[in-house]
Structure 1
Amino acid sequence: MSNAISSPPAMRGPADHDVRAQIVVAATEHFSRYGYEKTTVSDLAKAIGFSKAYIYKFFESKQAIGEMICANCLREIGADIRAAVDGADRPPEKLRRMFKAIVDSSLRLFSQDRKLYEIAISAASERWQSAIAHEECIRQLLVEVLKQGRESGDFERKTPIDEMAAAIYLVMHPYINPLMLQHSFAHTDQAPVQLSGLVLRSLSP
């Protein structure tokens, strides 16, 4: 898994990265203050000082702007998860740290900015490409750890690895998907330890 969590959404207009970045920064601030769902492209244009038509030269829709913001957030989360996994030597500890990093990074996104978290909820519920790519990268990292565990003799080898990865991902999913995470806050203190412990016992050779 690379550190790039998702590909940027399709963009229009000239390749002027400075203007595009300016729009994203201003939109992030505006969404943080007023919320994603309640903001229109006209609202953004007025806040930024650009015309609505000018914004459409760079982004085809409000969702395209939201996707860029979401991709930036998910890229940070993905980098945190990768760093946690790479920081461990043995596959069992990699898996433990993966569980913990998923919960910690997801909670950080929620606690830092509730209104930006609404963008993540929209991304998950509407299946934006940035959210799909993020989930796929986590699956790929999980498969990578499981393969390492089989090679080292830490994990059993009888169960098909795709089946094993799919089952473990389902255990992780309530803490990956922001729609489900908001219903799991009561368990976030103990969940990484308890769930990773249960999974690791099931993986014992």
Structure 2
Amino acid sequence: MKTEKNKTFNSELYFSADQKLVKDRERTRRLLCSYNDTHKIDYERRTAWLKEIFGSMGKSIYIESNFYCDYGYNIHVGENFYANFGCTILDAGQVTIGKNCMMGPGVYIYTNNALINPEGHITEINCTKSVTIGDNVWIGRKAIIKPGVTIGDNVVIGSETVVTADVPANVVIAGNPAKVIKRLE
């Protein structure tokens, strides 16, 4: 029998108030409190906290406080990653971020897919869609990455862009919803 946690990995409907998931979120919130309260130049301790929180991560990772996520273990980050102040990754589903990714302040990444049926909100039934971000991606301030999106390699995402659909490699995108505004050589 599938657990509620397993259902999130397969983009199946799951019960978000499941006690195991609640305990996982509580654990992550405790770890995030410690991370966000650790002095900004205590790199060793901050890296150790991130290793406790994330599913996997490369070397040379730095996230400014305050950082927020749901579970953490669904986040997989490659080498040379930086996220500026106020990054939020709602990771009920998988979030995979490649190497050399940089995020401006206030970036939001969502994996929970809103259900249209009001009954789903009342019963705490949810669905996730994974987000994948390629290598060498720059995400501008206050950009929003919606559930189910895949972003190719070598992409620049303008400030306050809302990414609602897959993005090909080697482009600059901007707007709400995001549109390709330039191809990169």
Q: Per the shorter chain, which TM-score range? A: under 0.3
Q: Answer 1 or 2: higher relative contact order, Cα 8 Å, separation at least 6.
A: 1
TM-score normalised over the length of structure 2? 0.27
Q: Indicate the structure with greater helix content.
A: 1
Give the number of the structure whose residues are more often strand, by fraction: 2
TM-score by length of 1: 0.25
